[in-house]
Amino acid sequence: MIGGPATATIVPMSNEIPAAAQSVAQDEPDHAPIRGIVMILLAVAVLLGCWAFFAKFNSSYDDAAGTAVQSSQSASKDAGATSDEADKPQVESGAKPSSSDGAQPADKDKDKDKDKPGASAPAAVADKKVEVQVLNNSDVPGLAARVSEGLGEWNVANVGNFADEILPQSAVFYTPGNTTEEVNARALAQQLHVGVQEKTGPMLKLPGVLVIVTQDLG
């Protein structure tokens, strides 16, 4: 009505919160645990990356250190081998060992072997064609003839006596420097099991190989 007193309409306040506001209020607390988990995972990933980097760095360092140690050991071995080679006595090519001890006795033994009964013949082969004289130097009659009969294929040119000197034992003699006589004399001495010697004194006047027999062949 016009001119009448105005009446105010009082709307009672409600304690209820709108549904949209309640939804926002309820969703906000749920995001906090998710963020925490994400941060933890990121931190773990960073730690794992750092650990992998340092592990790779340490491995490379160990490999380099091992290579350096091996190189040092190899160099030490090479140096030791070089030192051993340097310490070894040097022997000149063509050098012959000293033979001051025993050289002369060996030559003397060779000379003695020449006088031994049955001495071995040189490499040359006796042809048995050289002139041979069988001479008796004993008091046994006919000894030279008996010995000559056993010579068979040898070229016995003379059987006789040798009275210019008395020999201690039977032997075969050859002219010094005559290789042919020496080869045949040694073969003949080996056959008779007597010694072999070079001619000396009056024997040098007699030609050929001399077989002078004494009582030891009687």
**Domain count of the chain?**
2
* H helices, E strands: number in the chain: 4, 5
Half-sphere exposure of 32 (CA within 13 A, CB side): 5
> 155 pLDDT exceeds 90?
yes
Model pTM score? 0.45
What is the Cβ-side half-sphere exposure of residue 184, based on CA atoms within 13 angstroms? 22
Mean pLDDT along residues 185-212: 95
**Residue 198 β-bridge partners:** 174
> How do residues 160-198 score in pLDDT, each as one tens digit?
999 999 999 999 999 999 999 999 999 999 999 999 999
Domain span including residue 191: 114-217
| pLDDT for residue 154 | 95
What integer pLDDT is reported at residue 123 of this predicted model? 53
* Domain membership flag for residue 46: yes
Residue type, 134: V
The fraction of the chain above a pLDDT of 90, given in percent, is: 39
User: Does residue 41 belong to any structural domain of this protein?
Assistant: yes
| Residue 21, in any domain of the structure | no
The pLDDT of residue 24 is above 50: no
Band of residue 116 on the pLDDT scale cut at 50, 70, 90: low
Instruction: List residues bridging with 158 in a β-sheet.
Output: 133
pLDDT at 21: 47
The partner residues of 128 in beta bridges, in order of sequence, read: none
Query: What does the pLDDT read at residue 100?
Result: 47
Same domain, yes or no, for 55 and 121? no
CA distance 185 to 197: 9
Instruction: Please report whether residue 103 resides in a domain.
Output: no
Nearest partner of 213 among 131, 153, 155, 151, judged by Cα: 151
pLDDT for res 145: 94
